[in-house]
A = this chain, B = another copy of it.
Amino acid sequence: MTLPLPVAVDAMGGDFAPDEIVAGALRAHDEHGIPVVLVGRPEDLTDCGGLEVLPASEVIAMDADPGSSVRKMKDSSLVRAAEAVRDGAASAMVSAGNTGATMASALLRMGRIRGVSRPAIATLLPTPGGKPTVLLDAGANSECSPAWLVQFGQMGAVFSRDRLGIAEPRVALLSIGEEPGKGSPFVKEAHRAMTDADWKDASFVGNVEGRDLLTDEVDVVVTDGFTGNVALKTLEGSMTALMTALLTSLGERPEAAEAAQTLGPELDSLYRMFHPDTYGGAMLLGVRGVCIISHGSSRSLAIENAVRAAAEMVEADVVGHITEAVAAPNAD
């Protein structure tokens, strides 16, 4: 890749910071040729393989209150990373730290794209045998208006195209039945607004249910940030429960344990297919810059993949495409 500006990686955020973060950033740099700048406390980043360090003396804790931390901790790694993007010193930011504070930093320092009502978190869900489904909002806005959901769909369609190469994404609304009359009053109103919206190179295909999220029936699924976050975490929890139950049961009989050994490659590829590290992170759509939000439990592989995704989104000009997509007359 030939990015003119480095990707700013928050070296202090995440359960395994800074070691796993630095290791992932380094691999993105060394193996994929992506320019990277680490943001954090220089005294904690003495051993980082020659990567450039942008100094920031403060660290916003994983459980800190997002709004007040970002306001008060102006020299935190998160705020400095977002400023680097705003000031043209970095092309994108990546953090596995406090999700709320990452959003707040990006929103306050980069600002919203003109015309965007609310930024939303877009996450990729694994679809066995197909391309991932984009789910948004995965947690940025716990209460939404129907018009915001239209924009989430427009932004999600851009993301599906730029990130996954889907030329004409099929956008759906998450509900509790396929018929337009199913769902809460809010969802019924959102259905009408999405039916009337301008989708350009995408299309609105109506309601889908929770069981359609991991299928190849749709490319983008839109919902409010509360429901989206519950759905995402329910998925994570069910994957963990099923994999744990599988691995436990495989250890109970000697013949089973032996057979499980043979199945190593299959179980490993299954594990990777459904593990959040595979996609590296979610993206905050609607701010004036590329901001990748990685899972707090990210290991180096997740960070490597997150930096690659950030670089790809800069090169694809996803921010420019979102600006065009939301410039429709219905967006208010």
Binding site for B on A (CB under 8 A): 126-129, 139, 142-143, 174, 176, 183-187, 209-215, 223-227, 229-246, 248-250, 252-253, 255-256, 258-260, 262-263, 265-266, 269-270, 273-274
Contact = CB atoms under 8 A, between A and B. Distances in A.
A239 B242 contact: yes
Most buried by B among A128, A229, A237: A237
Given A249-B269, A252-B266, 14 more contacts: A142-B185, A142-B187, A143-B186, A176-B230, A209-B230, A210-B234, A211-B233, A223-B230, A227-B230, A231-B231, A238-B239, A238-B242, A250-B263, A259-B259
B244 A128 contact: yes
Nearest to A63: B179
A293 to B, nearest CB: 14
Contact of A235 (B185, B234, B253): B234
A142 to B, nearest CB: 4
B262 A128 contact: no
Contacts of A215: 237, 241
Nearest to A274: B242
21 contacts: A128-B245, A128-B248, A129-B248, A142-B187, A209-B237, A210-B230, A210-B232, A210-B233, A210-B235, A213-B237, A223-B230, A226-B227, A227-B227, A231-B234, A234-B238, A238-B239, A246-B246, A249-B269, A258-B262, A259-B263, A260-B263
A22 to B, nearest CB: 28
A87 to B, nearest CB: 32
A226 B143 contact: no
Given A184-B143, A231-B210, A233-B210, A256 B263 contact: yes
A63 to B, nearest CB: 8
Nearest to A99: B177
Nearest to A181: B65
Nearest to A234: B210
A236 B239 CA distance: 11
Given A212-B237, A213-B237, A227-B227, A270 B256 contact: no
Given A211-B236, A214-B241, A241-B215, A229 B269 contact: no
A252 B129 CA distance: 14
A247 to B, nearest CB: 10
Contacts of A245: 128-129, 270, 273-274
The 5 closest A-B pairs by CB, nearest first: A210-B233, A211-B237, A210-B234, A259-B259, A214-B241
Nearest to A261: B259
A131 to B, nearest CB: 14
B210 A237 contact: yes
A248 B127 CA distance: 13
A104 B150 CA distance: 33
A213 B232 CA distance: 12
A232 to B, nearest CB: 7
